[in-house]
Amino acid sequence: MYINVQIAYYMIGVLLILMTIFIMATLSLKWNKKRVEKRRVQCLVRHKDYLDYVQMHLGEEDRLRTPGGSLTTFERRVLQSELVQWINRLDGVYRHRLLRLCGDLGLVEHNLKRLGSHRPLVRLDAAYHLGALRAPEATSSLLSLLYKKRVDSSSFIYARAAAQTATQLSEMGDLLRFLIENGKQDVHLTADITRESELDLTQLFITFLHEKNPKYVKLGLIGLQNSVKADLPDRIQELTKSDDRDIRMNAAKLLISSVDLSEEDVQFYLAFPDWEVRRLFAEWIGRSGLIQYIPLLSTRMEDVNWMVARASAASLVRMGDEGFEALCQLAVGNGSEHGRALAREFIEEDLKQSAAASSHVEDIMSHNHKEFLYKKYFENHQTLTNVM
């Protein structure tokens, strides 16, 4: 019994010591954080005139002067933090001048040295800042670090930085191929990295469309949605017939963002075997306000897939008075009972919503015109009194 009590005292003593150490460590971290923040604020105050000078002369001087005297490592880090924030917010000539200033301040050289550190967190921080500083001399080192390690969450910091600094299409090609072949991440994450590059990756994305690996094809399709689409390859239309749903849908999305679609193309895809593609095109017509395709939407109201039919009806509603009249014609036409009932449903809902939203003159005029069209087609229809 005596031994058990003695052991309990020892355990309590050990726990008290550990708690004391933990509390002291926590207080030390908080104190150190406050101390660093205080130094940072003092540094910003000390260099306020210089930062004001940079802001005032950013649009005037092609090469901004550096602050007088040498900078300490801490001062360099504080100025870097401020300048990188400005770089991320600006573009064009303003960003170019800030990047040149960062080079003159020795920030690129400073981070290149840190990139060779044995401490992983220091290397990651250096990689982030080299990417933000768009330092092309760092690209090969960043890619080397990326290729040497197993792909994990930290790999994307190196990949993003390499994309920001790359100046050659071959560098971006090698980077993307490495991520696709060695990573298990969603292809959208890789596509986000490509948006960091200042290069025109259109030809690279088109090349990916002909790869056997579906990940390359998906990346090519997603990437082309953010590129100039003046001449889309015929391969895009072939990919709408792919067995892979993501490839089909991304190909269709790319097509609807093209300015080269003819009426025959739109008619073809509104009758496409894949119902999701039909719905996508029906929604796109309404969202884009393409009233010339109202007759095609009207035919889709009889679609065997209810989601396509409802998407077509919703798009007609978005077409304003022309679409509303088309719905009225469908509701009293010779189509199927399902099509007529769907048209009546959207007509009545649109009338209720337009009546509730009639707060401006334009809204009131639009609602009154819809009432006129409704009376014109449903003069002796029982649902008129219910809606009005």
pLDDT at 133 (0 to 100)? 94
Token couple for 106: 């020795």
* Cα–Cα distance for residue pair 119/10, rounded to 1 Å: 38
What would the two tokens of residue 239 be? Answer: 């990919």
* Cα dist from 384 to 75, 94, 340, 352, 388, whole Å: 75, 62, 15, 12, 6
Q: Count Cβ neighbours within 10 Å for each residue of 106-140 and write b for 16 or more, e otherwise.
A: ebbebbeebbeeeeeeebbbbbbbbbbbbbeebbe
pLDDT digits (tens, 9 = 90+) for 93-112: 999 999 999 999 999 999 99
Report helix, strand or coil for 279. helix
pLDDT for the residue numbered 209: 92
Q: In 10 A of CB 315, how many CB atoms?
A: 24
* CA distance linking residue 128 with residue 107, whole number of Å: 12
- Dist CA 98 CA 145 (whole Å): 27
CB atoms within 10 A of CB 295: 10
Report the C-alpha gap between 30 and 36 in whole angstroms. 10
**pLDDT score recorded for residue 174:** 94
Contact 279/307 with Cβ under 8 angstroms? yes
Position 334 scores a pLDDT of 77
Q: Contact at 8 Å (CB) between 309 and 303?
A: yes
Q: Cβ(376)–Cβ(328) under 8 Å?
A: yes
The chain-wide mean pLDDT, for the chain, equals 86
Helix, strand, coil percent content, the chain, rounded in steps of 5: 75, 0, 25
Tell me which amino acid residue 368 is.
N
CA distance readout (Å), 278 to 114, 183, 262, 273, 291: 54, 33, 16, 8, 17
Q: What is the pLDDT of residue 213?
A: 92
Which pLDDT value is given to residue 384? Answer: 44
Q: Residue-wise pLDDT tens for the chain (388 aa)? A: 556 777 777 888 888 888 888 888 887 778 877 777 788 888 888 888 888 898 888 888 788 888 877 888 888 888 899 999 999 998 889 999 999 999 999 999 999 999 999 999 999 999 999 999 999 999 999 999 998 877 788 889 999 999 999 999 999 999 999 999 887 778 889 999 999 999 999 999 999 999 999 999 999 999 998 775 556 777 888 898 889 999 999 999 888 877 678 888 899 999 999 999 999 999 999 998 899 999 999 999 999 999 999 999 999 999 888 988 898 888 888 778 888 889 888 988 888 887 776 666 666 777 777 888 888 878 755 544 444 4
Scan for tokens 């009249």, then name that residue.
325
Q: How many CB atoms lie within 10 A of CB 271?
A: 14
Residues of 231-262 as b/e, b for ≥16 C-beta within 10 angstroms?
ebeeebbebbebeeebbbbbbbbbbbeeeebe
Q: What is the C-alpha separation between 46 and 179, in angstroms, rounded? A: 44
Domains of the chain: 261-388 (1.25.10.10)
DSSP string, 55-94: HHHTTT-SSPPPPSSPPPHHHHHHHHHHHHHHHHH--HHH
252 token code pair: 């269709």
**pLDDT tens digit sequence for 291-328:** 999 999 999 999 999 999 999 999 999 988 898 889 88
Q: What tokens were used for 379? A: 């003069």
Residue-wise over 13-52: b if at least 16 C-beta within 10 A, else e?
A: eeeeeeeeeeeeeeeeeeeeeeeeeeebeebeeebeeeee
Structure confidence at residue 114 (pLDDT):
93
**Contact status, residue 162 vs residue 140, Cβ threshold 8 Å:** no
- pTM, to two decimals: 0.77
DSSP for residue 273: S
